[in-house]
């Protein structure tokens, strides 16, 4: 099978996604799309000039929506950062602008005949993912957002640093919105082969502080350099590779939840057919209440911009 990926939006995140794909040979064909013709053309030339020093070849197409017809995956990294230099820690401040961009792009994806998997990075990702699904008409299981795949990684990094272990040795999830109403579901988190709620007592961990670090980790990066790119780009490419390889991996991504009638992050099994199956969790009553609050917040904002 030819592996073909489209990347829409070649800003800080999109260009990082594309570079990760090219440098690692994750795609045979890569379609790059951006409204800034000069920028996306320059990126394509730059990637082609990197290839003589790479062990992989990638065919690159620029600004051709028709080329998306037979793509396996499209990664949406379009949009504009509107966080007021970090003073306003709310991804929903980006919704008005970014939703309009999606309303321009999604019909062109639909009209191309694309029938693969859309992976949305664009913030606020839960609402944007639902907009993509609504406009393209693709099955809900074929439109996925990176969601708290990144926030869960931030939580794992914070926990691992406190315990002095590799972050890949921490398991568990942040759930809900990729935004301020998200939360760490501590009932799901384990490290050193123990529930973290037990380790917190023996190791003196402050779970509230760790939860806060996961929630606000992106803003710490943003305040330092004006954007975030490596963490979320890596999450998106990992998700794309899970789809391409039909890896059937459990991931906390933004997916449609019929019980809430909204997209939010909750672990599901992901493979070539998108979301394959749900992964039930035994959440505490307090965690279920937080998840409901997060769903209500997302849905309220989706209703404002869906038309």
Show binding-site residues. 9-14, 34, 82, 91, 98, 121-123, 154
How do beta strands 171-175 and 262-271 pair?
unpaired
The token pair at 284 is 């505490």
| Cβ atoms of 178 and 130 closer than 8 Å | no
**Distance, CA of 147 to CA of 152 (rounded, Å):** 9
CB contact set of 79 (below 8 Å; sequence gap of 6+): 9, 11, 94, 97, 98, 101, 122, 123, 128
Nearest CA among 275, 281, 246 for reference residue 171 = 281
57 is catalytic: no
DSSP conformation letters of 110-169 = HHHT--SEEEE-SSSHHHHHHHHHHHH---GGGEEE-TTHHHHHHHHHHHHHHHTS-GGG
How do beta strands 249-257 and 183-191 pair?
unpaired
* Annotated binding-site positions for substrate: 82, 91, 123, 154
Helix 125-136 × helix 95-112 angle, to 10°: 30
| Angle, vertex CA 288, rays to CA 305 and CA 256, nearest 5 | 40
The token pair at 124 is 């606020």
Nearest CA among 181, 220, 208, 186 for reference residue 86 = 220
Given 19, 57, 178, 216, the catalytic residue: 178
Q: If you search the block for the tokens 């609504």, which residue do you land on?
A: 134
* Annotated binding-site positions for NAD(+): 9-14, 34, 98, 121-123
* Beta strand segments in the chain, E: 4-8, 29-33, 59-62, 73-76, 117-120, 143-145, 171-175, 183-191, 194-195, 249-257, 262-271, 274-278
Nearest CA among 24, 28, 30 for reference residue 43 = 30
**Active site residue ranges:** 178
């Amino acid at each position: 099978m030819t592996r073909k990926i489209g990347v829409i939006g070649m800003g800080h995140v999109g260009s990082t996604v594309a570079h990760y794909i090219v440098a690692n040979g994750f795609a045979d064909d890569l379609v790059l799309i951006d409204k800034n013709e000069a920028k996306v053309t320059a990126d394509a030339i730059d990637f082609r000039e990197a290839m003589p020093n790479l062990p992989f070849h990638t065919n690159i197409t620029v600004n051709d929506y028709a080329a998306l017809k037979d793509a396996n995956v499209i990664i949406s990294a379009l949009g504009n950062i509107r966080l007021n230099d970090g003073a306003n820690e709310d991804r929903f401040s980006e919704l008005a602008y970014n939703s309009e961009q999606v309303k321009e792009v999604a019909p062109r994806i639909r009209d191309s005949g694309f029938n693969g998997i859309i992976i949305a990075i664009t913030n606020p990702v839960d609402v944007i993912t639902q907009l993509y699904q609504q406009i393209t008409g693709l099955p809900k299981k074929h439109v996925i957002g990176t969601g708290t795949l990144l926030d869960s990684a931030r939580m794992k990094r914070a926990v691992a640093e406190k315990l002095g272990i590799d972050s890949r040795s921490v398991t568990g999830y942040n759930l809900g919105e990729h935004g301020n109403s998200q939360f760490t579901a501590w009932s799901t988190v384990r490290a050193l082969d123990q529930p973290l709620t037990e380790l917190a007592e023996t190791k003196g961990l402050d779970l509230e502080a760790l939860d806060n670090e996961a929630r606000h980790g992106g803003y710490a990066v943003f305040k330092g350099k004006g954007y975030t790119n490596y963490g979320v780009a890596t999450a998106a490419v990992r998700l794309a590779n899970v789809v391409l390889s039909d890896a059937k991996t459990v991931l906390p991504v933004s997916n449609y939840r019929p019980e809430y009638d909204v997209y939010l992050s909750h672990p599901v099994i992901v493979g070539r057919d998108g979301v394959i199956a749900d992964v039930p969790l035994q959440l505490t009553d307090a965690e279920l209440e937080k998840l409901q609050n997060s769903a209500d917040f997302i849905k309220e904002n989706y209703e404002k911009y869906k038309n």
